[in-house]
A and B are shown apart, each in its own frame.
Chain A
Amino acid sequence: MSLIKEVDYGTPAAKSEKTVTLTIDGNDVTVPEGTSVMRASMEAGIQIPKLCASDMVDAFGSCRLCLVEVEGRNGTPSSCTTPAADGMVVKTQTERLKKIRKGVMELYISDHPLDCLTCAANGDCELQDMAGAVGLRDVRYGYDGGNHVKVRDNGEENPRYMAKDETNPYFTYDPSKCIVCSRCVRACEEVQGTFALTIEGRGFESRVSPGMHEDFLDSECVSCGACVQACPTATLQEKSIIEIGQPEHSVVTTCAYCGVGCSFKAEMRGEELVRMVPYKDGKANRGHSCVKGRFAYGYANHKDRILNPMIRESTSDPWQEVSWEEALRYTADKFRAIQAEHGKGAIGGITSSRCTNEETFLVQKLIRAGFGNNNVDTCARVCHSPTGYGLKTTFGTSAGTQDFDSVEHTDVVILIGANPTDGHPVFASRLKKRLREGAKLIVIDPRRIDLVRSPHIEAVAHVALRPGTNVAVLTSLAHVIVTEGLFDEAFVRERCDWDEFQDWAAFVSDPKHSPEAIAEMTGVDPETMRTAARTFATGGNGAIYYGLGVTEHSQGSTTVMAIANLAMATGNLGRPGVGVNPLRGQNNVQGACDMGSFPHELPGYRHIQDSTTRDIFEDIWGVKLDDEPGLRIPNMLDAAVEGTFKGIYIQGEDILQSDPDTKHVAAGLAAMECVVVHDLFLNETANHAHVFLPGSTFLEKDGTFTNAERRINRVRRVMTPLNGFADWEVTQNLARAMGLDWNYTHPSQVMDEIAATTPSFANVDYDLLEREGSVQWPCNDKAPKGTPVMHIDGFVRGKGKFVVTEYVATDERTGPRFPLLLTTGRILTQYNVGAQTRRTENTAWHKEDLLEIHPHDAEQRGVRDGDWIRLASRSGETSLRAKITDRVAPGVVYTTFHHPGTQANVITTDFTDWATNCPEYKVTAVQVSSSNGPSDWQVEYDRQAEQSRRIKPRIDAAE
């Protein structure tokens, strides 16, 4: 193992198909037209000295170090800004160039501290490297004159010196080390798209400024770390490097936060993680990251992590630490006893969207083959199950149609029910880049998300609809497209069922679906609707990206199908730049669905009642499978309350906090005899558990995650599991304790079993992933290296299916008692239920959940910014602080669900999607009133949680 050093070509790759050939230092080099001389030279293996250039950002030409001589041209042009041309003869090293470079370096060093030995960048400093490369031996200027390096030796004040800014929890900014190369500023602008940095002042005064000469923490900075990665010196430096030192080896792995699935180099010193650096070859992220992936890994070593298995008879008892053998034996005996008494179907399990494909596969295998029933479900139930249903119905596959690179070819984007700058930040950066290049954006969201308008980005239309009216709005967009004749008839005739299209077209053309007719119900100006529809239908490549604001509704599945209809009608499928793209919430929620986590589906979305599929598994597993679909999560809880469901194995999911109607979940769990929680922390669900099996982090195991673009990425172990076992080993040991003969020694063997049983994974194995980096399923003989874009020559199901999408209002209505609509979402620095991010320094940005309320509604209720308010629905009530903002429309309030103290899901109702039971998180009728502090429920909950988390250490038997 060694440290992976990625080649920096100095300028981004040119995309031209035409090539040019030039001579550099006597070597012929052929490169795409538009390539810089610097990059061409690097491709020939000749590194031209440089400071301000990096292949992550466009050429800038400011450092004057990369100068070259070109035969027949005057002067010494900078190689980063000079495009390669046919027949060019370039010299990168001449007497003249040597002299110039030495002089430039001498000036740089004359205003730079010489504390190299004790500098955090020692060993990873491009300035130091360049001083070496140009042979700098002497600096003739002292520090008596103007400099911004240090307070003067004579005690006089140096007004040009600025102290370190340490406000960001993850990196420091030391202005005295800045060489004003602008790489950080350009990274913030071009890669991240936030524009939080600038160079302020001029001359000696010029230096990097976050915002308007602000601290990093108070500025517009979102802490993605692109600037830190870009900095050639120690000016912007990870605090972990300052504390630990430089890493000595690195391993490429995949982030365990959102569904973008960024590739990272985990840079290590021994088994200590020094830093995470996004990997340029990562096809989802292309070398970029967000604050979570790059910095928020501290939970892996947090003191709250539980490392020993624990059991207890009753949830009112304290936990008793026991050995792994005892915990697993106890669990197996309990489960078998429950089955003996209450029947085979009285137990079940939940797979985790945080765990690997292999682990998920094993959990569903344990349930189907070991428990002997199909009571397996996963958290996709509460997020993207409607995506699976809707896209399978219309196209034939339960997944997004594109890769993320596709956005680079998009001309018009409809973004609906998603907030990528917070939920999927790296995708948001890629989208923003495309928008700055001129693509148009239509936002359909009740809330004014950042993408509606932020520096250099402005949506052409913001359809600020009333929560719960998605279907009406999408049908109405279709109405405009069909009645104005903007649909793609050739595409529809060739690819879709023409009769079904005609039925659908007649349905949407009904005047009752016109933007004018629905305006009052949806609250959207008809002109905005018409602009949006026309822009999408006529603007070129149109892509639809959507999130949980689509699926988490009583008509979630209908909305997904309405999106599919829109894409088919406008011919936006089957090529780069278009498509229907669900932004999946969790790192492996796509994988968890693929791996047969649903009660009615075996891996690869094949129905459990399909005997051919069952035969495949029965052959390999050597057991008879139940052909009846099992229970979904809400049904398991209902059955528990009724007394017919008694035991559950929950891997890596906190249903008490994440699932709707908390009180019902608590009642269900409390009614069970054996709740087994397999997790990193004593999460909220564990308050009701009888067995706790410690989990391992993504850094502690091998496996694969499948991201939102169906990309199977490798997860690689970089440290020994603190709890002793990777999660797949724990599941295997539980299976063995229950009498199953499992003998996997490595997750690659599980993947081989997946490939052997699941056609869409047929060609996937770890060797292929090692060679290709990653592949997108389907990956089989038809597509040996995977499938970036689906449905290219026809839909998987044959003809694309248009489905009539009648709008049916949710039963959740506002009324005099509950006049406001609550919708929920997330925030950049926190992730899901916050179990991980709350245990990192990310709390510097978001300490608690807040309720966003419009000034008009706040004033009516006498609520001021920062006040405690009581939030009540028909289901329950909670208290949190108010944030007054016009991001939400009057009549709409918004909150996040990252903190257990808030218990936002006490408020949400048990209404669900008609097809998949996905809960309606996004619409709840509520009332807001003043409050003094936490509600009685919250106080009682905290007391009970504290009580439930007591642990008695393990007592080893006396000799």
Chain B
Amino acid sequence: MSTNTEEHSVRVEAICDRMAALEGPLLPILHEVQEEFGHIPEGALQTISKKLNLSRAEVHGVASFYHDFREEKAGKHVIKICRAEACQSMGADDLGDHARHRLKVDWAQTTNDEKVTLEAVFCLGLCACAPAAMVDGKVVGRLNKDRINQILDEVAS
């Protein structure tokens, strides 16, 4: 084990110790790990499974179900554009293509300068304000090309 993963493992263990007494502790622990590292670092799932006395498979099953748990660090900013039905009908696909083109990335990728990660999301519950997106955890609605450009400018600066 490299010193890096060893250090990670100590920190993950500390999180587990702190939260293991919760009812259904696995999800809160995964959130906390992601909060602390920005992603779920390699080996963290094994550490969690040992700590909670779960199998590797069970922890993997839960973590892989949620797209929000990342295996790698995201860029400094995360843009999630909704691609579900309502937003699609209001032109979300074009917005998505535009964003991908401008950032020179595909879905679920991070720009070379590690500033921006672009992701698709399926419904933010903002159908009435479609097309919608989420930028660094804040939702934005009624997007159009100008507003998306404005957002892209902001995150790129």
Contacts and interface: CB of A to CB of B under 8 A. Distances in A.
B61 A455 contact: no
Contact of B55 (A196, A199, A200, A201): A196
Which of A195, A198, A454 is the most central at the interface, judged by chain B CB atoms within 10 Å of its CB? A198
User: Which of B49, B57, B64 has the largest number of chain A CB atoms within 10 A?
Assistant: B57
30 contacts: A195-B57, A195-B58, A196-B55, A198-B58, A198-B60, A198-B61, A199-B61, A200-B60, A200-B61, A200-B64, A202-B64, A202-B65, A209-B57, A209-B61, A209-B64, A211-B55, A211-B56, A212-B45, A212-B46, A212-B56, A212-B57, A212-B59, A219-B57, A220-B55, A220-B57, A454-B53, A455-B49, A455-B53, A455-B58, A457-B53
Contacts of A211: 55-57, 60
Nearest to A456: B53
Contacts of B55: 194-196, 198, 211, 220, 455
A453 B51 CA distance: 11
A458 B56 contact: no
Nearest to B46: A212
A200 B59 CA distance: 10
A197 interface: yes
B54 interface: yes
Most buried by B among A200, A210, A457: A200
A457 B54 CA distance: 9
B97 to A, nearest CB: 19
Interface string A191-224: 0001111111110000001111100000110000
Given A198-B58, A211-B55, A455-B54, 18 more contacts: A195-B57, A196-B57, A197-B57, A199-B61, A200-B65, A202-B64, A202-B65, A209-B60, A209-B64, A210-B57, A211-B56, A212-B46, A213-B60, A219-B57, A220-B55, A220-B57, A453-B53, A457-B53
Interface residues of B, number: 15
B98 to A, nearest CB: 24
A458 B54 CA distance: 11
Nearest to A199: B61
A195 B57 CA distance: 7
B53 A201 contact: no
Contacts of B45: 212
Interface in A141-200: 194-200
Contacts of B54: 195, 455-456
B68 to A, nearest CB: 12
A157 B44 CA distance: 31
Most-contacted residue by chain B among A195, A212, A453 (CB, 10 A): A212
Interface in B13-66: 45-46, 49, 53-61, 64-65
Dominant SS among interface residues on chain B: helix
A454 B50 CA distance: 9
A474 to B, nearest CB: 28
Nearest to A210: B57
Interface string A790-834: 000000000000000000000000000000000000000000000
B53 A458 contact: yes
A456 to B, nearest CB: 7
Nearest to A198: B61
Contacts of B53: 453-458
Interface residues of A, number: 22
A928 to B, nearest CB: 26
A552 to B, nearest CB: 31
Contacts of A197: 57
Contacts of A196: 55, 57
A1 B54 CA distance: 45
Given A196-B55, A456-B53, A212 B60 contact: yes
Q: Which 4 A-B pairs have the closest CB atoms?
A: A198-B61, A195-B55, A212-B60, A198-B57
Contacts of A458: 53
Contacts of B56: 211-212, 219-220
A626 to B, nearest CB: 58
Interface string A646-679: 0000000000000000000000000000000000
Interface of A is mostly: loop
A454 B46 CA distance: 13
Interface in B57-109: 57-61, 64-65, 67
Contacts of B67: 202
A587 to B, nearest CB: 31
Interface string A212-244: 110000011000000000000000000000000
A432 to B, nearest CB: 12
Nearest to A203: B122
Nearest to A195: B55
A213 B54 CA distance: 16
Nearest to B55: A195
A198 to B, nearest CB: 3
Contacts of B46: 212
Nearest to A205: B64
Contacts of A212: 45-46, 56-57, 59-60
A174 to B, nearest CB: 19
A277 B45 CA distance: 35
A201 B69 CA distance: 11
Nearest to B59: A212
Interface string A417-458: 000000000000000000000000000000000000111111
A441 B60 CA distance: 28
B21 to A, nearest CB: 15
Nearest to B45: A212
B30 to A, nearest CB: 14
Interface in A377-393: none
Interface in A386-414: none
B88 to A, nearest CB: 16
A60 to B, nearest CB: 15
Interface string B106-144: 000000000000000000000000000000000000000
B62 to A, nearest CB: 8
Nearest to B61: A198
Contacts of B49: 455
Contacts of A195: 54-55, 57-58
Contacts of A457: 53
Contacts of B59: 212
A201 B64 contact: yes
Contacts of A198: 55, 57-58, 60-61
Contacts of A213: 60, 64
B141 to A, nearest CB: 25
Of the candidates B49, B61, B67, the one having the most CB atoms from chain A within 10 angstroms of its own CB is: B61
A198 B55 CA distance: 9
A196 B59 CA distance: 11
B121 to A, nearest CB: 13
A201 B57 contact: no
Interface in A843-857: none
Contacts of A454: 53
Residue of A199, A210, A455 ringed by the most chain B CB atoms within 10 A: A455
Interface in A455-498: 455-458
B5 to A, nearest CB: 15
Nearest to B64: A200
Interface string A613-654: 000000000000000000000000000000000000000000
A339 B61 CA distance: 70
B57 to A, nearest CB: 4
Nearest to B57: A198
Nearest to A200: B64
A188 to B, nearest CB: 8
A173 to B, nearest CB: 13
Contacts of A199: 61
Interface in A13-36: none
- Interface centre among B53, B55, B58, B64, by most chain A C-beta atoms within 10 angstroms, is B55
A219 B46 CA distance: 12
